Structure 1
Amino acid sequence: MTQMNITGKKEMMRVAIIANSKYQSRRIAAKLFAILKDDPDFYLSKKNPHVVISIGGDGMLLSAFHKYERELSHVRFVGVHTGHLGFYTDYRDFEIDELIENLRKDTGEKVSYPILKVKITLDNGREIKSLALNEATVKRIEKTMVADVIINHVKFERFRGDGISVSTPTGSTAYNKSLGGAVLHPTIEALQLTEISSLNNRVFRTLGSSVIVPKKDKIEVIPKRLGSYTISVDNSTLHCKNVAKIEYCINSEKISFVATPSHTSFWERVKDAFIGDLDS
């Protein structure tokens, strides 16, 4: 399908195809490329695309998101699944013809989900800024992590334990769920703070359960001990010394997916991934 330019005329849809290194993914990418390169409705380009087709699984979609995270205002994503069931994939590898036909009929509609903005401030004043589609975690390497947790300028608790995870609604089904956090529908604009092996006894106390934080509130984690910290943002990991503060909030821009009949219901994905077929 075509896009409208500023003159009201239609232009070709610019499509970027990104695949992981698995044989099946490369095969599907080659097939898509061969079909679309000669189609007058499409123009293949990894520069300023309208649509990014990610082929592989959730990990590949995360990589595609970070590749185009500075272009979220005008790019939409489509996931093609070539492995195990993925939360970010709408098409299976045998549904390529259906994908192309839906793109031809596309009118620009999208389904958008909130993402996480992370700012790490080191003791020397250096700032590191990142975006996360799933979650960001912080852990202390040498010893127990001790940190003040501040929510919307309120000192909420002094945490002691292995670390802290802050997830998006779409990331609530990933690491957050394994930590005992709640599953949130991805259209809910909220963050979820979940403790990682918190230390709770007669002396040290934390809330213990995950906390759902609304869009308007910011989460701050302030480590109280110098040392080395491991900070993960989606599938990237940073090793930082002497972290002064980490701030988390909902980003102003969202990630958008192409809205097609194949954009699977979130609850359908949750059921398929964690529950399976129900007995009749």
Structure 2
Amino acid sequence: MRYYVLDRGDQLSIELSERFHKLAAKYGFELDAESPEIVVSIGGDGTMLHAFHTFIDHIPDLAFVGIHTGHLGFYADWKADELEELVKFMAGESSDSMEHHPKIVKYPLVDLEINTKSGTSHYTALNEFTLKGVDGTTVVAQVDINDEIFEMFRGDGICISTPSGSTAYNKALGGAMVHPTIEALQIAEIASINNRVYRTLGSSMMLPKHHHCDIHSRKPQRLQLTIDHLNLSIDDLISIRCQVSKVRVSFARYRPYPFWNRVRQSFLG
């Protein structure tokens, strides 16, 4: 098995990373930073986002496994004290291993096409994309759905989330939590202003994979664009097209961990 490990950089995560390498060598795993089959994230959800974007060009060819060393790791199946058990599962030597192969679950992503006066760029988000004004300025944007005008937005910003990212910023905005196998994206408003000039829906909404959403800048404005943990400052935005990606991210599950169990344990205890 070819593998790679990314850790958060704190002492515990570094120690676990070193232990993982030693155990991996014991079972004959091959460390491969170029084309791994499995990428192990040790830390929190931010570490998983970093791992995802590190291997963004290889997403169809690999699967991720998360070990969380903080208080909440929504993408992580394993705790710090379960490291040796995980490696045994990966090696197919656990008594609970089924056919010595993990179950690969695939979650949808969001593709973004960002058009500015200086050119076009493309990004893919695992959690969410947000558009906000810099220094608290109000965003003014036209929102189109499937090439038809839907609303004229004015407010703090707009959040576009994947189903797996629906439990993150989207949830804080009052958006729905969505099972991560549903191929859709969710649009949530950030502090919208409603008056006789600007009218918005006022609630989050979901678009299926065959729909798309376009956000058009409707005044000269400096904007902060965030794709997961990546930040861009843009002052010449024309439009952003958002749609469900044709590519899905894979996670290797070596034991059952139902999504709604994660939700209950993460938010209800």
Q: CA deviation at 1:224?
A: 0.3
- Counterpart among 138, 149, 154 of residue 155 in structure 1: 149
Q: CA deviation at 1:149?
A: 0.4
Residues 25-81 of structure 1: per-residue CA shift (max 9 Å, x gap): 0010011111112323x1112120000011011000000000111111110000011
2-side partners of 1:85 and 1:227: how far apart? 36
1-side partners of 2:55 and 2:102: how far apart? 18
Note if contact 2:225-2:234 (Cα within 8 Å) is conserved in structure 1: yes
1-side partners of 2:198 and 2:41: how far apart? 46
Note if contact 2:65-2:253 (Cα within 8 Å) is conserved in structure 1: no
Q: Residue 33 of structure 1 aligns with which residue?
A: 21
Q: CA deviation at 1:123?
A: 2.1
Secondary structure class of the residue paired with 2:39: strand
2-side partners of 1:269 and 1:151: how far apart? 32
Q: Residue 175 of structure 2 aligns with which residue?
A: 181
2-side partners of 1:140 and 1:180: how far apart? 20
Misfit runs of 4+, over 4 Å:
none
Q: Residue 275 of structure 1 aligns with which residue?
A: 268
Note if contact 2:107-2:180 (Cα within 8 Å) is conserved in structure 1: yes
Q: Residue 19 of structure 1 aligns with which residue?
A: 7
Provide structure 1 residue ranges, at least 5 long, that are not aligned to the other structure: 1-12
Q: CA deviation at 1:227?
A: 2.1
Structure 2 matches for 1:74-153, cutoff 5 A?
74-105=61-92, 106-107=100-101, 109-124=103-118, 126-141=119-134, 143-153=137-147
Q: CA deviation at 1:132?
A: 0.5
Q: CA deviation at 1:100?
A: 1.0
Total equivalences in the alignment: 261
Q: CA deviation at 1:202?
A: 3.6
Secondary structure class of the residue paired with 1:25: helix
1-side partners of 2:128 and 2:165: how far apart? 6
* Percent identity over paired residues: 40
2-side partners of 1:147 and 1:135: how far apart? 18
1-side partners of 2:253 and 2:42: how far apart? 17
Secondary structure class of the residue paired with 1:253: strand
Q: TM-score, normalised by structure 1?
A: 0.90
1-side partners of 2:161 and 2:190: how far apart? 13
1-side partners of 2:87 and 2:27: how far apart? 10
Q: Residue 255 of structure 1 aligns with which residue?
A: 249
Q: Residue 200 of structure 2 aligns with which residue?
A: 206
What is the one-letter code of the residue matched to 2:127? N
Residues 66-122 of structure 1: per-residue CA shift (max 9 Å, x gap): 011111111000001111121100010110121011112242530110011111100
Q: Residue 73 of structure 1 aligns with which residue?
A: 60
What is the one-letter code of the residue matched to 1:21? G
Higher helix share: 2
What is the one-letter code of the residue matched to 1:160? R
1-side partners of 2:30 and 2:103: how far apart? 19
2-side partners of 1:81 and 1:246: how far apart? 33
Q: CA deviation at 1:203?
A: 3.7
Provide structure 2 residue ranges, at least 5 long, that are not aligned to the other structure: 93-99
Q: TM-score, normalised by structure 2?
A: 0.94
Secondary structure class of the residue paired with 2:189: strand
> Superposition RMSD on alpha carbons, in Å?
1.2
Note if contact 2:139-2:221 (Cα within 8 Å) is conserved in structure 1: no
1-side partners of 2:42 and 2:19: how far apart? 12
What is the one-letter code of the residue matched to 1:30? E
Q: Residue 220 of structure 2 aligns with which residue?
A: 226
1-side partners of 2:131 and 2:101: how far apart? 41
1-side partners of 2:139 and 2:130: how far apart? 12
